[in-house]
Amino acid sequence: MSRRILQVGPLKPSLAATLTERYDALVLPDDDTRAAFLAEHGASIGAVVTTGRTGVPADLMAQLPALGAIVNFGVGYDTTDVEAAAARGVLISNTPDVLTDCVADTAIGLAIDTLRRLSAADRFVRRGDWSGASYPLTRKVSGKRVGIVGLGRIGQAIATRFEAFGCPISYHSRREVPGSPYAYAASPADLAADVDILVLATSGGSGTQHLVDRQVLEALGPDGYLINIARGSVVDQDALVDLLLTGGIAGAGLDVYTDEPTVPAELMALDNVVLLPHLASGTVETRAAMEQLALDNLDRWLADGTVLTPVPEVS
């Protein structure tokens, strides 16, 4: 087993420093020297450390013949070719659980901000508009019907938080969750048609590409709100922009986008849309825990060829 470590893509600075200082890791160039670098070092790489934003596509994996593990900083891994990894017996780990609370908190914060238009109200005060007018009435959050797409760890945590607001909860997942107290909807469109707030907490990747399409958004309707802390790929972004501009849905709270860091320019001036820079897990405490779990996965693989938190598709 090759023990050489490769960093692929930007990482949290302290994690990148640890990889260099403790593991003598190499860093994959992101310029015209990449091909020569891989020709020289590719065959010696045993493990890659990366993020869900960068990942390891099939073409890169093919240039790492000794690759045994992909250690992912973050819970998402849709930018890594899971099928190619599974075919070669390459383990993939991620950092679940440690970011659940912060991501769920962000979903709740986005919902409150979007319905009550708190960010827009802040801009209203800063512009000096309060001196000449009252701020428009907004929408109540408590008691709203909430639908969650993806009732995994994060989805469950979001549901628990909304229950504290007296919100009836329903959900759609690939399969019904045994023992769940929440109503199950057979499709995203069925779910959207019966709720006021649709929260996306599902994984990304080809299996959920545009899972929330125009039909689903139209089912949510002109009084419905979309909250997305999942992946931008889950939503048909063009349809979402169109419906937000035309009143097809009431508003949206977005932490993720189709082509990050690009955000549709049409949304910038809308007060019924809250735009975040993919920060759901971005707290000091959670990022430290994610970093430690990534290193623990790497250490376990170096010790015995396994990982602590393998993704299910290749475990």
Helix (H) or strand (E) holding 149, with range, is strand 146-149
Active-site residue identified among 4, 88, 139, 278? 278
Active-site residue identified among 117, 161, 172, 231? 231
Instruction: Copy the structure tokens of residue 17.
Output: 């420093």
Categorise residue 235: left if φ over 0, alpha if ψ from -120 to 50, beta otherwise: beta
| Helix, strand, coil fractions of the chain, as percent rounded to 5 | 40, 15, 45
313 in catalytic set: no
Per-position b or e across 91-102, b if 16+ CB within 10 A of its CB: bbbbbbebbbbb
Active-site residue identified among 176, 260, 266, 313? 260
SS3 state of residue 148 = strand
Q: How far apart are CA 107 and CA 279, in angstroms?
A: 11
Q: How far apart are CA 72 and CA 310, in angstroms?
A: 10
Residue at token pair 């910038």: 268
291 in catalytic set: no
Kindly give the residue spans of alpha helices, DSSP state H, lying in the chain.
13-23, 34-41, 58-61, 82-88, 100-116, 118-126, 153-163, 188-193, 214-220, 237-246, 284-304
* Residue type present at position 134: S
285 in catalytic set: no
Question: Which residues form the catalytic set?
Answer: 231, 260, 278
